[in-house]
Amino acid sequence: MSARMLHKLATNPQLMMRYVSSGRLPTESRVTSPLIELLESIAPRDRARMRGVRISRRLGYLSTARFATAEALLRWLKPFDKAVGNESWPAESCRDKAFRGPVQLAELLECCDVYPEALDARAKGSKG
Per domain, the residue ranges of the chain are 1-30, 32-81+88-127
DSSP state of 102: P
Find out whether 96 and 57 touch, Cβ atoms under 8 Å. Answer: yes
Q: Which amino acid is at 79?
A: P
Greatest CA separation for the chain: 57
Query: Omega of the bond prior to 102 within 30 degrees of 0, cis?
Result: yes
> What does each of the 128 residues of the chain score in pLDDT, given as a tens digit?
788 888 888 988 888 998 899 988 888 888 889 999 999 999 999 999 999 999 999 999 999 999 999 999 999 999 988 888 777 788 888 999 899 889 999 999 999 999 999 898 888 876 54
The Cα-based distances of 57 to 8, 43, 62, 72, 95 in angstroms read: 32, 24, 5, 19, 9
Residue 60 three-state SS: coil
Give the pLDDT score at 20: 92
pTM: 0.82
Give the pLDDT score at 25: 87
Give the pLDDT score at 128: 45
What is the rounded distance in angstroms from the CA atom of residue 59 to the CA atom of residue 25? Answer: 34
Give the pLDDT score at 62: 93
What is the rounded distance in angstroms from the CA atom of residue 101 to the CA atom of residue 86? Answer: 24
